[in-house]
Amino acid sequence: MYKIIVLAKQVPDTRSVGKDAMKADGTVNRAALPAIFNPEDLNALELALEIGDRFPGTRITLLTMGPVRAAEILREGMYRGADAGVLLTDKAFAGSDTLATSYALSCAIRKIGDFDLILAGRQAIDGDTAQVGPQVAEKLGIPQITYAEEIISLAAKTIRVKRRLERGFELVECPLPVLITAHSTAPDCRPRNARRLMKYKRATTLSERHSASDDYLASHMEKSYLAITEWCAKDVNSGLVQLGLVGSPTKVRQVENIVFQAKESKVLTADDADIEWLMQELIARHTIG
Amino acid sequence: MNNVCVYCEFEEGKIQDVSFELLTKGRSLANQLNCKLEALVLGEGLAGIETEISKYGVDILYIADDKRLCPYTTLPHTAVAVGLFRETKPQIVLMGATSVGRDLGPRISSSLTSGLTADCTNLEIGEYEDKKTGRTYENLLYQIRPAFGGNIVATIVNPDNRPQMATVREGVMKKEIISETHKAEVVRPDINQYLREEDLVVKIIERQVESSKINLKNSSIIIAGGYGVGSKENFNLLYELAHTLGAEVGASRAAVDAGFTDKERQIGQTGITVRPKLYIACGISGQIQHIAGMQDSAMVISINNDANAPINKLADYVIQGNLENIIPRMIRYYKRNIK
């Protein structure tokens, strides 16, 4: 059995971005967008769950950093098979770049303590940087295997992984503990399990319970698994100067909505005459042929 | 000290094109900053590599030729690069946004606590005023990239931490030989001072890497399909037109994500950047992240159902209608009119 930590991020669904998506200071206005479980983090969760299938007794802890609302993806992960969730939330984290994020996550991982494997998505769709996984591995001083497509074998303290490269693949072997990032070609995450949905649908963080009714709270007193761990910066012993905007070496100087240099376009129809004219024109100009 | 350094990627017996493109960009940045251009190449079997790299105007070339550095694995390359950068203290480090660069870059940045910006589409030098402190910084690297799913373009700076690091995709910068006879000063650092036993724990059991059969970057005509193509089957229309015109087929990210075609064909910020003579965009709406990879095309034809698709603004010719109708006719009328 293994102890696995899965890193996940709640991301704005960048496929449906509106005009109020950005704030004046150049950071993302997350409140204005639908929030989803970052797709490749779901691939990472599935790789963890497959290990759990093979090795009963494996414990999977889902860790996310974000606003209070990010607890949504922890519940989502628990419905699909994660054993526990940890929310790392604090105003001090606001504006973190990838380096400050990886620092905060590494502090939380140290607080969780013992682990054999850390799994994370290769990249998040709101930034596409693919930086946080390797940066966390470096902070923890452990090896990394990026772009994992399949876990080929896991025996005692050695793992063998198939990595997807741009133009091929690689089979690598590494001793535990190791951080692995999952590629989108890894198996899709299994759906919610109905029994787990019933069990965990009232799982909440401390912040969420602050606004809950008394009888709701009473049910929590009896069932400790309904309490999602919530930590702030102080809880994980992180140094404030390394967090948030202050701890981020990269600053956004400027954000622009790009206006294209519009060309004078000639609009054609799909009629034979128009298309034949265009092909003649391209041939005459030696653009084609 | 305080120079511009390019990590040159040595894969399958040769330096990757993206590294030469970055050396060319690095040379112009170094000229602007009035500093030297350095290059770092790690691998095995590197005899004679200095001739190939020097031509791009490199002043100082660091070579580490050692079997522990080939094929690429994360930890040994990180250890050597970090160890060297601690001594040479470059102000800027550039790397290709490849499988290797995206694995190595964040590891180095985390170790050196320096800022890293992924997938830049432009790099410039400029000043920055910190509005909180009122302090002005001169000669910073502007790391310019579409952000947030490609809906905006952001300029990122690293005011205080060094090196300022950026990765760039293949094809974004143009490569240019400065002088065939230019000679870099070659330095061969002793890597044993940087490598530890525990850096060698990851073993490569098997590796299969093929050279790309698709040559988008050097194609003078590109037929590119987007989500609007609708299916993998409909992409066959694009292959037929490409075959007729002697063109190559490209795709937008949405089409790749939908599984219509391979990732290798992706054009845009997170794919490849192209500058063909003719770009035929089929069913592509034209997100910034796609435009970033094709805006320097000499002529653009957009075939789209939607008269308001943003890409139409960039197009010389817009054909409104269905691909299924239009592409077969393009093929027919091309054949009829070509001698």
* Higher-pLDDT residue of A14, A58: A58
Residue-level pLDDT at A32:
73
Report CA-CA distances (Å) from B174 to A66, B6, B97.
Answer: 39, 15, 15
Pick from A129, A135, A279: CB nearest B333: A279
CA distance B20 to chain A (A): 19
CA distance A171 to chain B (A): 5
Domain boundary among B169, B200, B231: B200
Same domain, B243 and B142: no
Average pLDDT of B171-181?
Answer: 94
Residue B292's pLDDT band, with cuts at 50, 70 and 90, is confident
Same domain, B192 and B291: no
Q: Name the least confident of A72-81, B54-63, B183-192, B202-211.
A: B202-211
In this predicted structure, the answer to whether residue B338 has a pLDDT above a threshold of 90 is no
Residue A110 inside a domain? The answer is yes
Buried-exposed string B261-282: b where 16+ CB fall within 10 A, e elsewhere: bebbbbbbbbbbbbbbbbbbbb
Residue-level pLDDT at B149:
62
Same domain, B272 and B332: yes
Residue B45 inside a domain? The answer is yes
Same domain, B115 and B48: yes
- Give the range of the structural domain holding residue B253, as residue numbers without chain letter: 221-337
Our count of domains for chain A comes to 1
Angle at A127 between CA A121 and CA A133, to 5 degrees: 35
Q: What is the dihedral of CA A118, B9, B166, B276, to 10 degrees?
A: -120
Could you tell me the two tokens for A270? 């799909």
Pick from A139, A258, A283: CB nearest B337: A283
Residue B150 inside a domain? The answer is yes
Residue A283 inside a domain? The answer is no
CA distance A154 to chain B (A): 14
Residue A94 inside a domain? The answer is yes
Q: Are B113 and A135 in contact (CB under 8 A)?
A: no
Residue B287 inside a domain? The answer is yes
CA distance A222 to chain B (A): 43
Residue A126 inside a domain? The answer is yes
Cβ <8 Å between B110 and A139: yes
Q: Chain B contact for A273, CB < 8 A?
A: no
Cβ <8 Å between A138 and B288: no
Q: Tens digits of per-residue pLDDT, A121-131?
A: 999 988 889 99
A233 secondary structure, DSSP code:
T
Our count of domains for chain B comes to 2
Same domain, B193 and B263: no
CATH of the domain at B130: 3.40.50.620
In this predicted structure, the answer to whether residue A280 has a pLDDT above a threshold of 80 is yes
Residue A54 inside a domain? The answer is yes
Q: Chain B contact for A17, CB < 8 A?
A: yes
CA distance A216 to chain B (A): 38
Residue A259's pLDDT band, with cuts at 50, 70 and 90, is low
Residue A209's pLDDT band, with cuts at 50, 70 and 90, is confident
Residue-level pLDDT at B166:
98
Q: Which of B301, B333, B336 to mutate to test the interface with A (most CBs of A within 10 A)?
A: B333
- A residues 224..263 contacting B (CB < 8 A): 248-258, 260-263
Same domain, B178 and B247: no
Which residues in chain B are closer than 8 Å to A14, comparing Cβ atoms? 148-151
Q: Tens digits of per-residue pLDDT, B77-128?
A: 999 999 999 999 999 999 999 999 999 999 999 999 999 999 999 999 999 9
CATH of the domain at A29: 3.40.50.620
In this predicted structure, the answer to whether residue B35 has a pLDDT above a threshold of 70 is yes
Residue B285's pLDDT band, with cuts at 50, 70 and 90, is very high
Non-local (6+) Cβ contacts of B298 within 8 A are B275, B276, B277, B278
In this predicted structure, the answer to whether residue A215 has a pLDDT above a threshold of 80 is no
Q: Are A255 and B300 in contact (CB under 8 A)?
A: no
Average pLDDT of B168-177?
Answer: 93
Residue A77 inside a domain? The answer is yes
Residue A278 inside a domain? The answer is no
CA distance B57 to chain A (A): 29
Which residues in chain B are closer than 8 Å to A95, comparing Cβ atoms? none
Q: Tens digits of per-residue pLDDT, A106-150?
A: 999 999 999 999 999 999 988 889 999 999 999 999 999 999 999
Same domain, B176 and B284: no
Could you tell me the two tokens for B149? 């799913």
In this predicted structure, the answer to whether residue B209 has a pLDDT above a threshold of 60 is yes
In this predicted structure, the answer to whether residue A15 has a pLDDT above a threshold of 80 is no
Residue A264's pLDDT band, with cuts at 50, 70 and 90, is confident
Residue-level pLDDT at A13:
82
* Higher-pLDDT residue of A67, A23: A67
- Give the range of the structural domain holding residue A30, as residue numbers without chain letter: 3-242
Q: Name the least confident of A74-88, A149-163, A201-215.
A: A201-215
Which residues in chain B are closer than 8 Å to A249, comparing Cβ atoms? 113-115, 158, 160-161
Residue B213 inside a domain? The answer is no
CATH of the domain at B225: 3.40.50.1220
Which residues in chain A are closer than 8 Å to B117, comparing Cβ atoms? 129, 250
Q: Which of B83, B106, B101 is nearest to B11 (CA)?
A: B101
Residue B212 inside a domain? The answer is no
Same domain, B251 and B297: yes
- ipTM for the predicted complex comes to 0.89
Pick from A136, A165, A175: CB nearest B201: A175
Pairwise CA distance, residues B157 & B243, whole Å: 44
Q: Chain B contact for A274, CB < 8 A?
A: yes
| Nearest residue on chain B to A103, alpha-carbon basis | B110
Cβ <8 Å between A248 and B264: no
